[in-house]
Amino acid sequence: MSLFRKISERLHEKRVEKASKQAKKSSHRTEYLLNDNTPFDVTEAFRNLKAALSVSVPRKEGGVTIMTTSAYPEDGKTTVTVNLALMFALSDAKVILIDADIRKGRVAKYFKCRTIPGLSDCLSGQNSLDEVIHHSHMNENLSYITCGTHSPKPYELLESEEMQNLIEELKTRYDYIIIDTPPILLISDALAISPFTDGVALVCRHQVSYVSDIARALNTLKFAKANILGVIVNDYKEPKQHKFYGGYKKYYYYNSYSYGSTNPEEKEEDPLEPSDEITKE
């Protein structure tokens, strides 16, 4: 085994350790949802993101399926995905959000409802599709499917023909099917779904995600022949504004959408900074 491989495996192990420690520590998470009091630039960033994704995967007769994932836990996938679905719904599109994180999905928390019955229950034949579709109280165009009962074989459920049929059926009913998944460098569940989707957006967290991890996640998706739409930089803190308006910026700020590279040779080891421009190949 080459020295480089040994070092990168050790780094991966360290990050997995760090991620699981963080996940244990942060059992108390916050569910941010766009509302009338959300700062203008946050809403605007989501509007830009929605616009960029609409252009990347144009609307067609059958609904468009967009999946989000990230390299490691806590990058903000669920926060970004739920709000993105809401933003699409606000623009009068019929939207369904699917929580495909069968291991520890948290979409239900945003809607203050139970996780059961949900996706896994439908895929295993316990419940019909109509029984697992919930209608959001936030917007009449938005429906959602929670993750469902914990299953010992989530990957198998997600790669099944039932999952493919479920997506095909939803495409006939909705304009957008938005899917939230677990972190791709820890669990391969997202790879089971990517072939059924029109595109995948990778979420990373500013000053937390490493460029090398983003590149590895993109390579993994590329290997799975996913249509990579780009990289969403979450929790972006503008250095200058951060200095002056530190308190407010701490809450949340979503940068608009930037394109992702699949080149692993780019910058190594420093958490993502604004100067780390990633350009599409």
Ligand X SMILES: Nc1ncnc2c1ncn2[C@@H]1O[C@H](COP(=O)(O)OP(=O)(O)OP(=O)(O)O)[C@@H](O)[C@H]1O
Instruction: List residues near Mg ion by CB under 5 A.
Output: 77-78
| Residue range at the interface with ligand X (CB under 6 A); choices 47-55, 69-77, 152-160, 262-270 | 69-77
Q: Residue 65 in contact with residue 164, Cβ under 8 Å?
A: no
The edge-to-edge listing of strands for the beta sheet with 176-180 is 134-135, 142-145, 95-99, 176-180, 64-70, 199-205, 228-234, 257-258
175 binds, among Mg ion, ligand X, none (CB under 5 to 8 A by kind): none
- Of 47, 54, 62, 74, which one interacts with ligand X (CB under 6 A)? 74
User: What is the distance between the alpha carbons of residues 168 and 173, in angstroms, rounded to a whole number?
Assistant: 9
CB 168 → ligand X: shortest distance, Å?
26
- Of 49, 65, 67, 70, which one interacts with ligand X (CB under 6 A)? 70
User: What is the distance between the alpha carbons of residues 49 and 241, in angstroms, rounded to a whole number?
Assistant: 21
70 binds, among Mg ion, ligand X, none (CB under 5 to 8 A by kind): ligand X
183 binds, among Mg ion, ligand X, none (CB under 5 to 8 A by kind): ligand X
46 binds, among Mg ion, ligand X, none (CB under 5 to 8 A by kind): none
Q: Using the rule CB under 6 A, is 41 a contact of ligand X?
A: no
Taken as a whole, the chain contains a residue count of: 281
Q: Using the rule CB under 6 A, is 220 a contact of ligand X?
A: no
Q: Using the rule CB under 6 A, is 88 a contact of ligand X?
A: no
Q: Using the rule CB under 6 A, is 101 a contact of ligand X?
A: yes
- Of 63, 75, 166, 175, which one interacts with ligand X (CB under 6 A)? 75
Q: Which residues sit at the interface with ligand X, rule CB under 6 A?
A: 23, 29-30, 32, 70, 73-79, 101, 106, 182-183, 234-235, 252, 254
